[in-house]
Amino acid sequence: MARKKAMTSQKASYVKRRGHMDSREFAEYLGIGKEYKSDPRAKKDVIDLVGYSYSVKGGEKKWQIFLYGKTRFEKDYTFKGINGLAELFLQCIESFPENRADYLKNKELYKRNLQKPMRQLCEKLKEKRILEAFLHKSIFNSGEVDFLVIKEGGVFHVFWHEDVVEVLANNYEVENSKARGKNQLDDQKVVFKVSGKTHGEIEMRNDSHVHYREVKFWLDKKLTFNLLITHISKRENLNNKIILYGKAISKLFKHFKSNKD
């Protein structure tokens, strides 16, 4: 099986620019235009005049929810408070030597080191309350971000953070990865599946000096979007470019009713 190629710096730059354009476009359709604020470090792509914040996801096939190194898990109190998750992430990171050259000399040895903490991480995330806390922290910075916004077909679909976490946690089957090729090993990832399809993964990034000993969590855009609209049936158009779902309707409609076409 061919090894996945890491995203080039040019592609990463394009994705970032595209994300800024999507956020600006969403703000304009919301009716706040150039007055909107943002706080990317806190995952807040748009902050409206009411104070609500939005994580805007656009056209990329996979969303990188986070890419964190050792320091993040050592210092982030929320991760440290989710029943030992931070400790397990640190064990995954520390399965590999500090010097990447040492890792390259004996990849199999260090990948075998990873198997135990990755299995333990999987077992933790099979507990619904821990999975909910992990998703809430990872996607919404533990509720600091109010809404997930998905741009699909030129339209922005808006979901309340609690609705998103509930749907994902209720439907994910959590399991470890299995080797698919001769040089691969089992239990190198935690995989989130729905009806046998992979919706996301937690994996180690060791592919370069820039991204070495980092934990990556990603979700598939199309599958996540379809899962949400399948399980959140209540919806209402705010205008011809924004659709609100579930609790987002009561949270936002009264504030932006004047923008409805």
Q: Which residue shows structure tokens 């934990």?
A: 215
Residue 61's Cβ-count burial label (10 Å; 0-12, 13-18, 19+) is: exposed
Edge-to-edge, what's the strand order for the sheet holding 197-205? 62-68, 214-220, 197-205, 190-194, 173-176
End-to-end CA distance of the chain, in Å? 50
Look at residue 2 and tell me whether its pLDDT is greater than 60.
no
Decide if 63 is inside a domain: yes
Decide if 4 is inside a domain: no
Decide if 187 is inside a domain: yes
Q: What is the pLDDT of residue 38?
A: 87
Q: What is the pLDDT of residue 3?
A: 47
**Percentage of residues of the chain with pLDDT beyond 70:** 91
pTM of the prediction?
0.91
Q: What is the pLDDT of residue 60?
A: 80
**Percentage of residues of the chain with pLDDT beyond 90:** 78
Decide if 14 is inside a domain: yes
Q: Show the beta-strand stretches assigned E in 102-253.
A: 147-152, 155-160, 173-176, 190-194, 197-205, 214-220, 235-239, 242-245
Range of the domain at 141: 9-259
Decide if 2 is inside a domain: no
Decide if 93 is inside a domain: yes
Encode pLDDT of 233-249 as tens digits.
999 999 999 999 999 99
* Per-chain mean pLDDT for the chain: 91
Decide if 3 is inside a domain: no
pLDDT band at 260 (very low <50, low <70, confident <90, very high): very low
Encode pLDDT of 28-68 as tens digits.
999 887 777 888 777 899 999 889 999 999 878 999 999 99
- Domains identified in the chain, total number: 1
pLDDT band at 7 (very low <50, low <70, confident <90, very high): low
